[in-house]
Amino acid sequence: MRGNVFAVTVELVVLTVRDDELSVLLVRRDMAPHAGELALPGGFVRPQEDLLDTAARELAEGTGLALPGHHLEQLGSYAAPDRDPRGRVLGVGHLALVPAGSLGAEPVGGQWYPVDATGPLAFDHAAILADGVERARAKLEYTTLAASFCPEPMTVTQLRRVYEAVWGVSIDPRNFNRKVTSTPGFLLPTEERTSSGRGRPAQLFKRGPATVLHPPMLREPPAQ
């Protein structure tokens, strides 16, 4: 096993939808290597920690967000031999989806950036971010994860704006309404309605128990 010695880190792709834009939480590095550059939050796995434990701890330390209550899943591992100048470091990317406004405007030690306007990132974090964004986009098709981006309770329009922001498309409100309200367990209706704001008050919903969306809500196939 000599030579097969790695340090293992967890990197977090924390996504939210702010101002109708899919955004990612980035931190500015204050230590070498890549000091001063933007990077995904993350850190080293501790001796007795499992990967998701590390990810949840880093999420809490970096943002104050606690599990359970937020979606967190593993994306994959990145281990190119030259990805870290300090030596052999394997990074395990994770994806977290959090509702808008669950952090202050300026979260602890980080800042929100639209996912397609981050500029260059440290290490191979741009690739990890791209994989996380693509995972999120794909999962909206066949799961109910979009609701994880919305605070509770939510309106159908809020949920639709999530899809529109994540996919970068516009969706017909009437067809979207039909789809999500006719999918059992996606949205649980409450008796309440929005009180203020322009237009007709909207019914408020909570997240339902369903996790899969069948049949799925398909994007147009990415032009090949």
Partner DNA sequence: GTCGCTAGCGTCATTCTGACGACAAGCCGG
Partner DNA sequence: CCGGCTTGTCGTCAGAATGACGCTAGCGAC
Residues lying near DNA in the complex (CB under 7 A): 155-157, 172-175, 177-179, 181, 193, 196-203, 215-218
Name the token pair of 45. Answer: 């796995």
- Asked if residues 7 and 89 have their Cβ atoms less than 8 Å apart, the reply is yes
CB of 167 to a copy of itself, least distance (A): 15
CB atoms within 10 A of CB 88: 16
Residues 61-90 that bind a copy of itself (CB under 8 A): 74, 76-77, 79-81, 88, 90
What is the spatial order of strands in the sheet that 111-114 belongs to? 38-39, 21-28, 111-114
Rounded to 5°, angle at Cα 83 from 50 and 45: 15
Select the binding partner of residue 80 from DNA, a copy of itself, none (C-beta < 5 to 8 A, by kind): a copy of itself
Select the binding partner of residue 212 from DNA, a copy of itself, none (C-beta < 5 to 8 A, by kind): a copy of itself
Rounded-to-integer distance, Cα 176 and Cα 156, Å? 8
Comparison of 104 and 222: residue with beta carbon closer to a copy of itself: 222
Comparison of 139 and 161: residue with beta carbon closer to a copy of itself: 139
- Amino acid identity at 64: G
CB of 31 to a copy of itself, least distance (A): 13
